[in-house]
């Protein structure tokens, strides 16, 4: 019997950018029916060591997000604390003493209950990272903190209709910094881990690769060791049940500027990130890639969708046979690597084999307007993990709007000292309002997904 999918966690990260071609994307427009859990990214830890709202307008968005539970009572929500933009020294200081930990815990409980969340997700990037304010004793201090948070959650006097708080942790997608998360110890106190198995390659490199190849396309290069498979093997120890882990999937791709327009295969030389589109340099939302790909396949030029950035595909989309991801070239020198429903089939098949408890998706607002990519994840979950349990039908009608130590160390330095990770993969480099694009999809399917709230 196939494993059962327990969780489909979606992050609302406001990463898709503000594009003249696309309407804004708000929490009320989230496809809540496709998820078991929604995480709002982000809240901060301030210099005083307490939880703090990231943007003043987020308070309104909190309400919109949590109001979705009226439509789907089994839906759970959480606030994610951290993200790439936060001063990570505040994490290190907060966990450093019992008094500091209790101060934050008290503030977090008050914050979570005030705004109607059901839990908290910790995104520390990264413990013991000296370049980002970390200290040597961060790993053990973090374990102490998570234990004390869980103890407080268990001891909380619940009011009517309240349940014990959910506690989860976002983990890096591989050996870089991953060794500083003491996963077997942390696993005792968390409900699950979200492995960020994406943005493994990016603009800090001088060769083109997809951001989240399933297997190691860069195996024979200086950037070897970064793939979804590597992330799973390095971050999910056998001493911890695989059900404790969610496989992270990104709805955005990576872009590079080619050094030589005639060399476009994965591993070809690059001179920097791709040009800015709806997201910042080096990133492209799926809805952008989908539109450009559709335009390439549309013979009638007048029938093609307009593009504010005057982009067109000059090399057709191709499959990376090792990485199981798509890549194409735009405007002759802009290399784009991205996932599609076809490539996600491979990742969902892989997920079924490793027995993880679910998936976590970053970020929901990067999908097409009909949620094509997210629906393909559901289809893959049903095919690979859907035996047994309670099935909730999901309407996919397309009209819906609803040994590597030295190499690794060197790459760590590149990741930290080079350009910032893209917002699509790094959990919140500059966050902006999302965007949408209506794209045509020719298939109508009815499918189900195992939902354990």
**Domains, the chain, with CATH or none:** 7-251+340-450 (3.20.20.80)
Tokens for 177, please give them.
């910094």
Q: Does residue 401 carry a pLDDT above 50?
A: no
Q: What is the pLDDT of residue 452?
A: 36
pLDDT confidence bin for 316, thresholds 50/70/90: very high
Task: Say if CB 313 and CB 293 are below 8 A apart.
Answer: yes
If you average pLDDT over residues 81-91, what whole number do you get? 97
Of 14-23, 52-61, 168-177, where does mean pLDDT reach its minimum?
14-23
Q: Nearest-5° angle of CA 117, CA 401, CA 55?
A: 40
Tokens for 323, please give them.
């990485």
Q: What is the pLDDT of residue 177?
A: 84
Task: Say if CB 73 and CB 80 are below 8 A apart.
Answer: no
Q: What is the pLDDT of residue 20?
A: 76
Q: Does residue 446 carry a pLDDT above 50?
A: no
Report the SS3 class of residue 256.
strand
Q: What is the pLDDT of residue 192?
A: 98
Q: Does residue 27 carry a pLDDT above 60?
A: yes
**C-alpha–C-alpha distance, residues 218 and 9, integer Å:** 29
pLDDT digits (tens, 9 = 90+) for 412-437: 444 444 434 434 334 433 333 333 22
pLDDT confidence bin for 182, thresholds 50/70/90: very high
Largest CA distance in the chain: 67
**C-alpha–C-alpha distance, residues 198 and 98, integer Å:** 34
**C-alpha–C-alpha distance, residues 369 and 19, integer Å:** 14
Q: Does residue 45 carry a pLDDT above 50?
A: yes
Strands (E), 34-165: 37-45, 51-53, 76-82, 119-123
Q: What is the pLDDT of residue 15?
A: 66
Tokens for 159, please give them.
């009011």
How are beta strands 391-395 and 446-450 bridged, if at all?
antiparallel
Q: What is the pLDDT of residue 391?
A: 26
The tally of CA atoms less than 13 A away on the side-chain side of residue 143 is 12
Q: What is the pLDDT of residue 14?
A: 74
pLDDT confidence bin for 21, thresholds 50/70/90: confident
Q: What is the pLDDT of residue 5?
A: 55
Give me the chain's average pLDDT, please.
86
Cis amide linkage into residue 42, ω under 30° from 0: yes
Q: What is the pLDDT of residue 394?
A: 34
pLDDT confidence bin for 308, thresholds 50/70/90: very high
Of 135-139, 158-162, 445-449, where does mean pLDDT reach its minimum?
445-449
Q: Does residue 67 carry a pLDDT above 70?
A: yes
If you average pLDDT over residues 398-404, what whole number do you get? 34
Q: pLDDT above 70 covers what percent of the chain?
A: 82
Count of CB atoms within 10 A of residue 184's CB? 11
If you average pLDDT over residues 399-406, what whole number do you get? 34
Q: What is the pLDDT of residue 71?
A: 97
Please, what is the angle between helix 228-235 and helix 341-354, to 10°?
30
pLDDT confidence bin for 6, thresholds 50/70/90: confident
Phi, psi of 384 (to 5 degrees): -110, -20
């Amino acid at each position: 019997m196939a494993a059962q999918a327990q969780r489909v966690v979606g992050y609302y990260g406001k990463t898709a950018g503000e594009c003249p071609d696309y309407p804004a994307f708000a929490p009320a427009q989230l496809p809540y029916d496709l998820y078991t859990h929604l995480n709002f990214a982000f809240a901060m830890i301030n210099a005083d060591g307490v939880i703090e709202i990231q943007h003043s307008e987020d308070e309104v968005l909190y309400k919109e997000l949590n109001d979705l539970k009226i439509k789907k009572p089994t839906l759970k929500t959480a606030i994610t604390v951290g993200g790439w933009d936060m001063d990570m020294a505040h994490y290190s200081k907060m966990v450093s003493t019992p008094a500091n930990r209790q101060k934050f815990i008290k503030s977090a409980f008050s914050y979570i209950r005030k705004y109607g969340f059901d839990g908290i997700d910790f995104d520390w990037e990264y413990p013991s990272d000296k370049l980002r304010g970390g200290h040597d004793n961060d790993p053990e201090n973090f374990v102490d903190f998570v234990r004390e948070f869980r103890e407080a959650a268990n001891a909380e006097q619940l009011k009517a209709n309240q349940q014990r708080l959910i506690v989860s942790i976002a983990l890096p997608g591989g050996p870089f910094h991953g060794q500083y998360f003491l996963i077997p110890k942390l696993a005792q106190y968390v409900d699950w881990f979200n492995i960020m198995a994406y943005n493994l390659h990016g603009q800090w490199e001088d060769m083109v690769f997809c951001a989240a190849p399933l297997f190691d396309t860069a195996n024979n290069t200086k950037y070897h060791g970064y793939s979804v498979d590597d992330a799973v093997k390095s971050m999910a120890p056998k001493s911890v049940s695989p059900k404790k882990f969610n496989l992270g999937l990104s709805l955005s791709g990576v872009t590079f500027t080619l050094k030589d327009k005639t060399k476009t295969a994965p591993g070809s030389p690059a001179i920097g990130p791709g040009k800015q589109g709806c997201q910042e340099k080096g990133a492209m939302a799926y809805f952008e890639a989908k539109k450009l790909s559709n335009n390439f396949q549309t013979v009638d030029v007048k029938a093609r969708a307009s593009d504010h950035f005057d982009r067109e595909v000059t090399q057709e989309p191709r499959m990376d046979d090792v990485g199981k991801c798509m890549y194409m070239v735009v405007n002759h020198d802009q290399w784009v690597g991205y996932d599609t429903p076809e490539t996600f089939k491979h990742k969902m098949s892989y997920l079924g084999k490793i027995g993880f408890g679910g998936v976590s998706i970053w970020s929901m607002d990067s999908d097409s307007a009909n949620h094509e990519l997210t629906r393909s994840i559901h289809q893959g979950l049903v095919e690979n993990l859907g035996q047994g349990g309670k099935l909730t039908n999901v309407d996919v009608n397309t009209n819906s709007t609803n040994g590597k130590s030295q190499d690794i160390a060197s790459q760590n330095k590149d990741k930290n000292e080079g350009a910032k990770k893209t917002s699509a993969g790094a959990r919140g480099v500059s966050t902006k309002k999302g965007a949408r694009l209506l794209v045509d999809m020719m298939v109508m399917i009815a499918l189900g997904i195992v939902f354990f709230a």
